[in-house]
A and B are shown apart, each in its own frame.
Chain A
Amino acid sequence: MMTVTKAADPARRPKRPVTVTGTTVIAVATVLVGIVASLTVDSFATAANMRGLFLSVSIIGIIAVGLSLITIVGKVFTLAIPALVALSTITFASTLYLGPWIALLITVAGAAAIGLIQGLVIGKLETDPIITTIAAAAILIGIGQLWTNGRTVVGTGEATLFNSSLFGAIPFQTLAFALVAAALFWWHKYTVSGRKLTLVGLNEKAALISGLRSWPMVTLAFVVSGATTGLGGALLSAQSGQGTLTLGASFGFDAIVAVVVGGVAITGGIGTPLGAAVGAIFVGLLENVLALVGLNYETQLVIKGVLVLAAVTLMGVTGRAGRSR
């Protein structure tokens, strides 16, 4: 891993420890908040609350882990997540009669295909990721509206499988989150293609000079993000067996917050999917505790904004990537 980095840009090497601490700080903060909350807030360490916490974190986590790849490959964000989640809930609900697993498969494949199109446009034609995904979001919402006429789609079929708990405590969704996060972390860190993804994000020019084209990696990142977003949407839809355009509206922000707070640098190349997962857990935990303490949704939103601003500024100040201005 280090050799790749060294070959790309020796001057960047000393900055590695800083970013490692970035994710570590959040991990430590997460544990601290958890301990403090379980000691001071009575209703925190109950089984019911823990289950609720796991549930709320899982879907956002799954989406954030996929999104982090887009950030790592240097394409900042996709703003099409809420639209894609909404469309995925509709896809899942309308295909549920085929059986939950088939519906899940269709949803994930469809979302991955949408990711593929965006990835090809952004990678191959080098369009701006933000503008392209804003356009994609509008198109997806438009398609969803035409498809459903703005109505809620109620699925006919059983999706309780995805809401069951394993060993009575771990929700299925949490297991999916853990699996996705572990798989993507492993892929990003220990496979050649994962390392290539990082190199492209770290220094696209160096990658090109060493014979690595950026567009396949960019496309791959968008496909994976599309697939995880589809998975998140399917699991969300499975909770109620329904699909509608307003479902998942907040997931776009939440996933971005998780990625940024989790120590993934917006400039690309720095951070891991695991960081995004930790970020999602931290944000979910903080939300849970704030809600238990009695702060309302509005205040939580403000706190989230401040949190991202602080995280972004801190990353910029400590892990200055030497961008020229």
Chain B
Amino acid sequence: MKIRASILYWHARPALAWTLAVVAFLYFTLSNGHFLNAGNLYALIQLFSTLMLVAAGLAIVMIAAEFDLSIAGTFPLAGLVAVQASDKIGVVPAMLLAVVVGLLVGALNGWITGRFRIPSLAVTVATMVLTIGIGFEITGSQLVTMTDYTASLTLTQRVLGVFSVGSLIQIVIAIAAYLFLRSSWRGRFVYAVGSDAARARASGLPVTATLVFAFMVCAGFASVAGALQGVSLATGQAGSNDSFLLQCATAALIGGVALTGGRGSLTGVFGGAFLLTVLTNGLGLAGVNSALILLVNGIVLAAVVLVDRPLNRFIDRRLRAEMPIGQPPTQTSSEPAPTH
């Protein structure tokens, strides 16, 4: 019965994230008359849907107790591929091509991480450099643009006032991911692998396949979002997108995804993404410059990281103390390698 209290805590994290998001939303609504404009809400949802999707992908990798730095490269790369190829093979095939490229990067990440048991940080740093390099390579370090704007206009056309085709696609995929992770076998495998890979392997779960799957989902989501953004803007420039990676990681952590793996739900991640979007949009609307917004993002992430660990350890200790002797501890909190 006491154990239920701690499970309640893990369910409370998404609620906490959403509460903060709603509070921020209400604050900006009251403090700025333009915040609830259809135009501003549209811009907010454009931002939110992208962040929501990519953060969901990163969260799935984090639940599997790994991390993917390469989305800082995959996300812009997908946009470049989509923009660059669309003049030759058409917009839809170009976007599919971009997603395929992303999936390949993800498969590579997952395979090397799972098969050779190499820390994913090392692997994804390498693929991040690789994808940024490929981005420069295919564009020749030039700004690339699309000649045909019809696809951009279709994607960014308003639906129901505040949505767009692009944002709806991303929201639908993100919600599908949430349902999948919650109630499919493969989704539960991700949790099992993340909470204790050795035990998962010993009980016959396909650990490597699950990791490959998680990384492919992450890179796939990043490239869908990247391709949509690239085509929407009809332009692209090679480089890394570090601040976006920062936001995704922050969203996942605010939402209660534990860096040690095996914990967290996508509802929380969506809440975290919403909070960050509202903050970015609201501050931007209030005329705060982008450097300060970046600073705020950094401070939010630092605060979450600082609070997260002691809080989780406290909950764990409570849980451990309440458990009857002889039962295995639920989390490897004494493990020295938090990144693993």
Contact residues of A with B, CB < 8 Å?
A: 74, 76-77, 79, 121, 125-132, 134-139, 141-146, 150, 204-205, 214, 253, 256-257, 260, 266-267, 297-306, 308-309, 312-313, 315-317, 320, 323-325
B54 part of interface (Cβ distance < 8 Å): no
CB distance from A199 to the nearest CB of B (A): 12
Contact call A256/B302, Cβ cutoff below 8 A: no
Task: Tell whether, in the assembled complex, residue B291 and residue A131 are in contact, meaning their CB atoms are under 8 Å apart.
Answer: no
Residue tally, chain B, CB below 8 Å to A? 58
B301/A135 in contact, CB under 8 A? yes
| Residues of chain B contacted by A144 (CB below 8 angstroms) | 291
Contact of B67 among A74, A130, A298 (CB under 8 A): A130
Q: In the complex, what's the smallest C-beta–C-beta distance from A297 to chain B, in angstroms?
A: 7
What is the total of A-B residue contacts with beta carbons within 8 Å? 170
Known: A126-B309, A301-B132. A134 touches B301 (CB 8 A): yes
A127 to B137, CA, bound (A): 37
Q: How far is the CA of A137 from the CA of B249 in the complex (A)?
A: 14
New A-B contacts (8) at CB < 8 Å, excluding given A127-B308, A130-B67, A305-B132: A134-B245, A137-B298, A139-B295, A145-B290, A145-B292, A150-B291, A257-B129, A309-B127
Task: Report which of B67, B296, B305 forms a contact with A132, defined as CB distance below 8 A.
Answer: B305
> What are 15 A-B pairs with beta-carbon distances under 8 A?
A127-B305, A128-B305, A129-B339, A131-B259, A139-B299, A141-B294, A143-B295, A260-B122, A301-B132, A301-B137, A305-B127, A306-B126, A306-B130, A323-B117, A325-B207
Residues on the B chain within 8 Å of A138, using CB: 243, 246, 294-295, 297-298, 301
Across the interface, B118 reaches (CB within 8 A) one of A139, A266, A300, A305, namely: A266
- Asked if B197 CB lies within 8 Å of chain A CBs, one says yes
| B window 126-157: CB within 8 A of A | 126-134, 136-137, 140-141
Contact of B112 among A256, A313, A320 (CB under 8 A): A313
Evaluate contact between B201 and A325: CB separation under 8 angstroms.
Answer: yes
Question: Is B192 an interface residue, CB under 8 A from the partner?
Answer: no
Closest 8 CB pairs of A and B: A142-B295, A305-B130, A145-B291, A138-B298, A301-B133, A316-B118, A302-B133, A308-B126
A76 to B297, CA, bound (A): 23
B125 CB–A CB distance under 8 Å? yes
Does B340 have its Cβ within 8 Å of any Cβ on chain A?
yes
Pick from B133, B141, B295, B299: contact of A305, CB under 8 Å = B133
Asked, given contacts A76-B119, A132-B302, A320-B117, whether A297 binds B340 with beta carbons under 8 Å apart, the answer is no
CB distance from A105 to the nearest CB of B (A): 27
| A299 adjacent to B301 (CB under 8 Å) | no
Q: Is the interface of B mostly helix, strand, loop or mixed?
A: helix
Q: Name the interface residues of B78-129: CB closer than 8 Å to any CB of A.
A: 112, 116-119, 121-123, 125-129
B294 touches A313 (CB 8 A): no
Docked CA distance A205–B334 (Å): 9
- CB-CB under 8 A from B297, the residues of chain A are 138
- Tell yes or no: B8 within 8 A of A by CB: no
Contact in complex: A266, B246 (CB < 8 Å): no
B310 close to chain A: CB less than 8 A: yes
In the complex formed, the residue of B with least CB distance to A127 is B305
Is the beta-carbon distance between A312 and B123 smaller than 8 angstroms? yes
Bound complex: CA A76 to CA B119 (Å): 9
CA distance A74 to B119 in the complex (A): 12
If A128-B338, A309-B112 touch, whether A298 touches B140 (CB-CB below 8 Å) is yes
A77: which B residues are within 8 A, CB to CB? Answer: 121, 125
| In the bound complex, CA of A139 to CA of B301 (Å) | 10
Query: For A214, what are the chain B residues with a Cβ–Cβ distance below 8 Å?
Result: 336
Measured CA separation A144–B121 after assembly (Å): 27
Bound-state Cα–Cα, A300 to B141, Å:
13
Q: B119 to chain A: which residues have CB within 8 Å?
A: 76, 266-267
Flag if A323 contacts B340 (CB, 8 Å): yes
Q: Does B159 contact A (CB under 8 A)?
A: no
Contacts of B136 in A (CB 8 A): 297-298, 301
Contact A125–B141 (Cβ < 8 Å): no
Residues of B contacting A299 with CB < 8 Å?
A: 133, 137
* Distance between A117 CB and nearest chain B CB, rounded to angstroms: 10
Q: Which of B15-39 contact A (CB under 8 A)?
A: none
* Contact, CB under 8 Å: B141 / A298: yes
Contact call B298/A127, Cβ cutoff below 8 A: no
Question: Given A297, A309, A325, which contacts B123 in the complex, CB threshold below 8 Å?
Answer: A309
Known: A128-B338, A128-B339. A325 touches B298 (CB 8 A): no
Question: In the complex, A214 Cα to B338 Cα: how many Å?
Answer: 14
B198 in the interface, Cβ–Cβ < 8 Å?
yes
Q: Which residue of A125, A136, A260 contacts B298 across the interface (Cβ within 8 Å)?
A: A136
| Chain A residues with CB below 8 A from B231, complex form | none
Q: Is B242 an interface residue (CB 8 A)?
A: yes
CB of B253 within 8 Å of the partner chain: yes
Nearest residue, chain B, Cβ from A322: B117
Are B309's CB and A141's CB within 8 A? Answer: no
Task: Please report the C-alpha to C-alpha distance between residue A40 and residue B116 in the assembled complex, in whole angstroms.
Answer: 37
- In the complex, chain A residues whose CB is within 8 Å of the CB of B336: 74, 204-205, 214
Whether the pair B249, A131 counts as a contact (CB closer than 8 A) is yes
B337 interfacial by beta-carbon distance below 8 Å: yes
Instruction: List, in ascending order, chain B residues with CB within 8 A of A325's CB.
Output: 117, 197-198, 201, 207
B190-231 residues at the A interface, CB under 8 angstroms: 197-198, 201, 207
A residues less than 8 Å from B299 (CB atoms)? 135, 139
Complex CA gap A309/B242 in Å reads 20
Is B160 part of the binding interface, using a Cβ–Cβ cutoff of 8 Å? no
A77 to B129, CA, bound (A): 15
Nearest CB in chain A to that of B67: its residue: A130
* Known A128-B305, A142-B292; contact A76-B129, beta-carbon cutoff 8 A: no
Find out whether the CB atom of B338 lies under 8 angstroms from the CB atom of A126.
yes
